[in-house]
A and B are shown apart, each in its own frame.
Chain A
């Protein structure tokens, strides 16, 4: 069985970040598959269950981020947030509380907003991850980014990437049709500067433009 989580180089047509990473990935992919079948590290039940995957220690994880396939060497305990910020130089996604209470780390996975701080990177391989860096088309801002600028939807800016990602999802879900509905469905993103009124105006404007 060819797993979509561990694509072979042949079925990976997406651009790779650099060729060294690709070579390293190929080596490691072999290592992972070997590990899954190695008796000393894997319990009897898992060896008997051909469809199980077992990962222990650092391995190369393959993530689809903003339309690119990226490889990151990480232990299973590494969160998506830390993989993005510490390993992949995608520091637009912010670490606020790191416990799912503030929304600063909000990203989209398969188009749905989630807290990347409570998401293990190993578990989202094969899914389409969108971060704040993936919104603009070149120099052209995403309408939500433009609306935050226009309405001054931030002061210190730390919660802003999460607010914008959540705002994009809020509109696409159809949960920004009234001010009250928008407030409720943006409640997973805290802004300690208190820019809520302007954040609301920005999200509502994008929603009203359909």
Chain B
């Protein structure tokens, strides 16, 4: 790991200033992704700004949404009574991610800001437009079984691995951000970017912008929810595909729906068009199959991940069935 200067402010403004004016500075919270990348020499910040002393750990209901402090630990959020009652989908997704040890370290803000990445991003001997812009994409013609089927570009076909983010995009969360030019709110769906011609940028955050909280609005999605994660072993692995489903069902008819897929794109993949198809329909397998077909429109696979074209809709149907029966 490279040498770096370590700074530990107790005021958000000091943390923001330290990163905003130094392109080689990075925030560090749980460090589960950043320290790993630094050990591998993939990133080498000259300064780490430890934000763990900032007062951003609280989970509290404000107005009509539940505010999760950016420094709330994944394990704490997953186990929080309000989260489990109001947003059980989020608790399910969190507990499907990483391992108990990592969830005790990773924060809400850090989880969503983990890098979109693939094995070529990690392999310093291979080209990667995300790690080193302009060098090419090793995955495009390489081993691409873990890669994207939606929203990819010729520059990058990596996927975002966060389970938590799949639930948050489905639940219409809003990210609260403070930066050198003040504060702003970002709809969760607009936090992450598609690769396009700038795969080196995972998110729309500006230099020095710090996530302070995420707001999850109150919703009727407190019962009929499911997070279906398909992976190559029973636990502690990235998703091949995952599906987040939240339904509001009355007398067997779907009043409202929220759907998202993980492991399929450079960002958590919200399925707005498929949601519309569900509204007013009976909660039956026949409906779910039609919806899954709509969800897969526009999907394009590569040599080794064609299986995702069948696995993703199947995971979605399974999640819909499980959510409806919950």
Residues 1-17 of B, flagged 1 when their CB comes within 8 A of A and 0 if not, give 11111111111001001
Whether, in the assembled complex, A53 has its beta carbon less than 8 Å from a beta carbon of chain B, the answer is yes
Whether the pair A175, B234 counts as a contact (CB closer than 8 A) is no
Whether the pair B11, A118 counts as a contact (CB closer than 8 A) is no
Interface with B: A108-116, A129-137, A144-152, which one?
A108-116
Whether, in the assembled complex, B31 has its beta carbon less than 8 Å from a beta carbon of chain A, the answer is yes
Whether, in the assembled complex, A170 has its beta carbon less than 8 Å from a beta carbon of chain B, the answer is yes
Interface bracket on A = 35 or more
In the bound complex, CA of A45 to CA of B17 (Å): 7
In the bound complex, CA of A188 to CA of B235 (Å): 8
In the bound complex, CA of A6 to CA of B40 (Å): 31
Whether the pair A118, B105 counts as a contact (CB closer than 8 A) is yes
Whether the pair A49, B3 counts as a contact (CB closer than 8 A) is no
A53-B8, A76-B4, A77-B2 known; A113-B100 Cβ under 8 A? yes
A55 partner residues in chain B, CB cutoff 8 A: 5-8
B-facing residues in A51-98 (Cβ within 8 Å): 51-57, 75-77, 79, 98
B100 partner residues in chain A, CB cutoff 8 A: 113, 166, 169-170, 173, 175, 185, 187-188
**B interface residues, how many (CB within 8 angstroms):** 38
Whether, in the assembled complex, B39 has its beta carbon less than 8 Å from a beta carbon of chain A, the answer is yes
Whether the pair A120, B31 counts as a contact (CB closer than 8 A) is yes
In the bound complex, CA of A75 to CA of B75 (Å): 29
A169 partner residues in chain B, CB cutoff 8 A: 100
Partner of A45, one of B18, B98, B236: B18
Whether, in the assembled complex, A183 has its beta carbon less than 8 Å from a beta carbon of chain B, the answer is yes
A-facing residues in B263-315 (Cβ within 8 Å): none
Whether the pair A187, B236 counts as a contact (CB closer than 8 A) is yes
**Minimum CB–CB distance for B229 against chain A, Å:** 12
A57 partner residues in chain B, CB cutoff 8 A: 3
A56 partner residues in chain B, CB cutoff 8 A: 5-6
B-facing residues in A165-200 (Cβ within 8 Å): 166, 169-170, 173, 175, 183-185, 187-189
Whether, in the assembled complex, B218 has its beta carbon less than 8 Å from a beta carbon of chain A, the answer is no
B234 partner residues in chain A, CB cutoff 8 A: 183-184, 187
A-facing residues in B1-57 (Cβ within 8 Å): 1-11, 14, 17-18, 21-22, 28, 31-32, 35-36, 38-40, 48, 50, 52
In the bound complex, CA of A61 to CA of B294 (Å): 57
In the bound complex, CA of A120 to CA of B5 (Å): 13
In the bound complex, CA of A119 to CA of B9 (Å): 18
A49 partner residues in chain B, CB cutoff 8 A: 9, 11, 14
CB-defined A-B contacts under 8 Å, sample of 11: A49-B11, A52-B7, A52-B10, A53-B8, A54-B8, A57-B3, A77-B3, A103-B101, A119-B105, A184-B235, A187-B235
